[in-house]
Structure 1
Amino acid sequence: MALKHYNPTSPARRGLILVDRSGLHKGGPIKALTEGKRKTGGRNNKGHVTSRGIAGGHKQRYRIIDFKRRKWDVEGIVQRIEYDPNRTAFIALVSYGTDDAGKEDVAYIIAPQRLGVGDKVIASKKTDVKPGNAMELGQMPVGTIVHNVEMKPGKGGQIARSAGTYVQVVGRDKGMVMVRLNSGEQRYIHSNCMATVGAVSNPDNGNTNLAKAGRNRWLGKRPLTRGVAKNPVDHPHGGGEGRTSGGRHPVTPWGKPTKGARTRHNKSTDKMIIRSRHAKKKG
């Protein structure tokens, strides 16, 4: 997909850059593969705001995605590529023929790059290294680019599901597979975990420019007021004579360190990490 640039016919159009979605399916989703989705406004059951910055946004229906890809050795045909408002990647509608009741068996998967309408995909213990095919990590050749990677066998893909992301298989060791993530982290993943071949679609998503605040409101994002622009009663960075930078250590409104402070607490999986994403890169 290419990027669309607009003429500056209005302030809202000046600088607007969007992904060209003309090649996607024009109609709505398969209703049986969707669920209703309520807006919370960032509030809990008591009506208190527990997540700042969340607003209404456009009404959406959630698309049920097959992250597990456990329909083994059944060939599917891609019917169409669709836009999904719940994620940055595009999704593909795959038909697996008809079931025992004579009803068409369809599912949504995350669409990888270079997957088109009419292409055939299959999930198996070991299969061809083709975009859209899913298999166990332990069966993949070293150097394969994959996405939708499981962290526990049978749990469903958790890593590399966002637009343009991918993971590279870099080696094997005693029933484990070594992978390199986009962040630079290298880690072990069990060889029985499933992954899908290819990088995730819509790599140009990061090059878009919304050009006006209203487009962020459509996405359900409220504006953020900087702490240094507030009064001391409202934020630790607030107050001061003239314009101030907010102090040496940036904190949240509740005094917790932010802007790069590490928040990782699940140390039980440290043994799976070979090289941290924070390790200095060799020049």
Structure 2
Amino acid sequence: MAVNRLFSNLTLTSTLICRQRIHASAINFASKPNIIKPKPGFGKAYRRIVHFPEEYTVKPLEVTNLAGRDPVTGRVVAKGIGGGIKHKYHWISWIRDGPKEGPPQEEKVIQIMEDGCRTAHIALVAVGDQLKYILATENMKAGDILKTSRELPRIPVRANEGDAYLLGALTTGTLVHCIEKTPGYGGLYIHAAGTFGTILRKQDDRVIVQMPSKRTFSFDQHCMAVVGRLSNVDHGDTPIGSPQRNRWLGNRPRSGLWHRKDGRHGRKIRPPKPVKEIVFPNKSKVSVIQMTMVP
């Protein structure tokens, strides 16, 4: 009887402990929902959020630095982002619109400046009584007069640096950037510092352009493009110089576990293998076999 009572007490105790564990795990599961961690890429940046107003303005816009975190869940998505100097965001006007017939529209460059949120320099341009920002070309300077036109002439135009024309209106071999994907939707391709595309040839109503990656894209001849190479050509060749400047640029240092020779995923230094002796085998003489007729 005592053994049965002890066995029943142990069974009751184990049942209560199991129920308590199940209850605790259920509470933890309810308090911590299954949040799917987003993955970097897919055209989404986790460095900053720009607060755009309803109407276009040349005033610097406020930004919220994310430091590589997802704005919804707050989880780290991109590990190499964090810190850095706080920058204001200058709103670029990607649409270069002009008249479809008659003389082109003239725009005057007011100022060339650096923008911390992009690699290429930007230019403040006056069009009539309005101001806007555009990407500056390699040799653009204050006081230049830029021309913009959406007319498709019979004879190709020899445009100057910074002018915006239709791809079909430019000559073969012209350097271009800020190319539209669809006519009227603004420049989408080739924004990085020092990059440019080259018009290779024309096929019917299409224009073949070689991109900075050496790939060739076929655009509609009514897509706008800006002539010239983008500014800040030496951006890719300028060394960072110091770890502190790398932190100013907003790059977070590595964990320190990775080393080239002895760390995790690194090339390990091991002692050399012992000397392997290469010898030729001695050829032993074959013994003579004597045959007899005696069984």
Q: Distance in 2 between matches of 1:60 and 1:240?
A: 36
The alpha-carbon deviation at position 157 of structure 1 amounts to: 1.4
Which of these two proteins has the greater Rg computed from alpha carbons?
Answer: 2
| Count of matched residue positions in the alignment of Structure 1 and Structure 2 | 203
2:168 maps to which residue?
138
The alpha-carbon deviation at position 56 of structure 1 amounts to: 2.2
- Please give the per-residue CA displacement for 1:221-240, whole angstroms capped at 9, x wherever unaligned: 1123588559xxxxxx9469
Q: Aligned match of 2:148 in 119, 123, 148?
A: 123
Q: Distance in 1 between matches of 2:259 and 2:122?
A: 41
2:115 maps to which residue?
84
Q: Aligned match of 2:232 in 202, 212, 237?
A: 202
- Please give the per-residue CA displacement for 1:53-82, whole angstroms capped at 9, x wherever unaligned: 110211111101111212444311111111
Percent of aligned pairs sharing the same letter: 34
The alpha-carbon deviation at position 174 of structure 1 amounts to: 2.5
1:275 maps to which residue?
none
Change (3 A) 1:241 1:198: closer
Structure ranking higher on relative contact order (CA contacts 8 Å, 6+ apart): 1
Q: Aligned match of 1:34 in 57, 60, 72?
A: 60
Residue ranges of structure 2 left out of the alignment (5+ in a row):
1-56, 152-156, 271-295
Q: Distance in 2 between matches of 1:110 and 1:240?
A: 42
**Aligned partners of 2:58 and 2:131 also within 8 Å:** no
**Aligned partners of 1:171 and 1:177 also within 8 Å:** yes
1:27 maps to which residue?
none
The DSSP-based 3-state class of the residue aligned with 1:63 is coil
The DSSP-based 3-state class of the residue aligned with 1:183 is coil
Which structure shows the higher helix fraction? 2
TM-score (ref. length: structure 2): 0.63
Q: Distance in 1 between matches of 2:111 and 2:184?
A: 27
**Aligned partners of 1:33 and 1:107 also within 8 Å:** no
Does 2:177 match 1:150?
A: no
Residue ranges of structure 1 left out of the alignment (5+ in a row):
1-30, 99-104, 231-236, 245-283
- Please give the per-residue CA displacement for 1:181-212, whole angstroms capped at 9, x wherever unaligned: 12211121111111100000111112211211
